[in-house]
């Protein structure tokens, strides 16, 4: 296989794993994101293998004039400017499925941590030394209404899991799957109805122009008072100012956030974190995790294997998982 590839943001063990499966390829591994190598150019590179922390637009592609393929190790590809790739004739391949259970389990981990005050309880024992449940009372999931926004692979798995907790489920999707609704015994409703009736709202939509600020200043006030919001999708699906206002007003009792609107700044320029995101990080009933819902041993291997197949397929004119 003769391709020149630059591979970004890989863990040390990935190099041997990828080299073994892409024998014959000329691969250069970089420990950081593409943005951490602003002076890197390569007139012969045909492929970039990246993650979501590597925004790629006109300027980045201009540094690789022979570029033919961007293989992103993610389901989402909003970090890649598809208008520019199309104009340049560069293919983009993603990982459409790597384990809906992986993200669904993490969404429930956030929910359980909030509902049973697990982080508060752990900190109480560690910091005070007291072994007391005072001030740590939570709430049951049994009988609560879960609003699932986006009922694709991950959302459907969340619904399956919720049934084990005895929850009622409402779903919202731009393209309702009535067969799924019948099989998993949940009801589709409009987004306003879901927001008004759900005790917990969990987001599982891709990020695009239609889902940008899907939860926003205009509709967040219609959320059932005292509800909780879980976001393992993309930060910009929720308008940060609206989220902060809802927490301050008590419309939302708490949130579990694996993503934030400006998470790139959290990685690269901690001094530039907005006051709003500082508020979320410091809020006692908000859990913020660093975009790691995907991060299990099994899921990462599935991601790598799919990405490797995408690159191998492109090299042999057997295209797989091409989004643009």
pLDDT, tens digit (0-9, with 9 covering 90-100), for 263-308: 876 655 555 678 888 899 999 999 999 999 999 999 999 999 999 9
Which pLDDT belongs to residue 274?
Answer: 81
- Residues designated as active site: 234, 263
Q: Pick the range with the lowest mean pLDDT from 42-46, 177-181, 218-222, 316-320.
A: 316-320
- d(CA 169, CA 161) in angstroms, rounded, equals 11
Instruction: Scan for tokens 């200043």, then name that residue.
Output: 217
Confidence tier at 145 by pLDDT (50, 70, 90) = very high
CATH 3.40.50.720 fits 100-288, yes or no: yes
Residue that wins the pLDDT comparison between 125 and 267: 125
Contact 93, 320 (CB under 8 A): yes
Which pLDDT belongs to residue 265?
Answer: 67
Largest CA distance in the chain: 64
Label the pairing between strands 227-231 and 47-50: unpaired
Average pLDDT estimate for 67-91: 96
| CATH code reported for the domain at 4-98+297-315 | 3.40.50.720
Which pLDDT belongs to residue 266?
Answer: 67
CB atoms within 10 A of CB 316: 9
Instruction: Scan for tokens 């560069």, then name that residue.
Output: 90
Angle between helices 153-164 and 100-115 (to 10 degrees): 50
Q: Reduced to 3 states, what is the DSSP secondary structure of residue 147? A: strand
Q: What is the mean pLDDT of the chain?
A: 95
Q: Reduced to 3 states, what is the DSSP secondary structure of residue 102? A: helix
Average pLDDT estimate for 96-113: 95
- d(CA 276, CA 217) in angstroms, rounded, equals 14
Looking at the chain, the domain(s) classified CATH 3.40.50.720 span 4-98+297-315, 100-288
């Amino acid at each position: 296989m003769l391709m020149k590839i630059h591979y970004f943001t890989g863990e040390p063990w990935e190099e041997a794993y990828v080299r073994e499966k892409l024998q014959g390829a000329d691969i250069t591994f970089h420990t950081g994101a593409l943005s951490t190598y602003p002076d890197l150019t390569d007139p012969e590179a045909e492929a970039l293998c990246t993650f979501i922390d590597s925004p790629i637009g006109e300027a980045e592609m201009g540094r690789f004039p022979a570029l033919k393929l961007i293989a992103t190790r993610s389901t989402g590809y909003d970090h890649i400017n598809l208008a520019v790739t199309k104009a340049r004739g560069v293919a983009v391949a993603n990982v459409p499925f790597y384990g809906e259970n992986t993200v669904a389990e993490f969404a429930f981990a956030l929910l359980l941590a909030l509902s049973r005050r697990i982080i508060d309880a752990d900190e109480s024992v560690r910091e005070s030394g007291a072994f007391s449940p005072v001030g740590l009372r939570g709430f049951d999931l049994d009988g609560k209404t879960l609003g699932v926004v986006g009922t694709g692979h991950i959302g459907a798995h969340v619904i399956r899991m919720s049934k084990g907790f005895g929850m009622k489920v409402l779903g919202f999707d731009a393209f309702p799957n009535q067969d799924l609704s019948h099989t998993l015994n949940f009801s589709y409703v409009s987004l306003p109805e879901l927001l008004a009736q759900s005790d917990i709202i969990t987001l599982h939509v891709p990020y695009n122009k239609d889902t940008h600020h899907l939860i926003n200043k205009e509709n967040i006030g219609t959320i059932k008072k005292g509800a909780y919001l879980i976001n393992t999708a993309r930060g910009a699906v929720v308008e940060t100012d609206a989220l902060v206002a809802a927490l301050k007003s008590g419309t939302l009792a708490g949130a579990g956030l694996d993503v934030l609107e400006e998470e790139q700044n959290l990685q690269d320029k901690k001094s530039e974190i907005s006051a709003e995101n500082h508020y979320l990080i410091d809020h006692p009933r908000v859990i913020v995790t660093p975009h790691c819902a995907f991060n299990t041993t099994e899921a990462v291997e599935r991601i790598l294997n799919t990405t490797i197949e995408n690159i191998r397929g492109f090299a042999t004119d057997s295209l797989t998982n091409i989004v643009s």
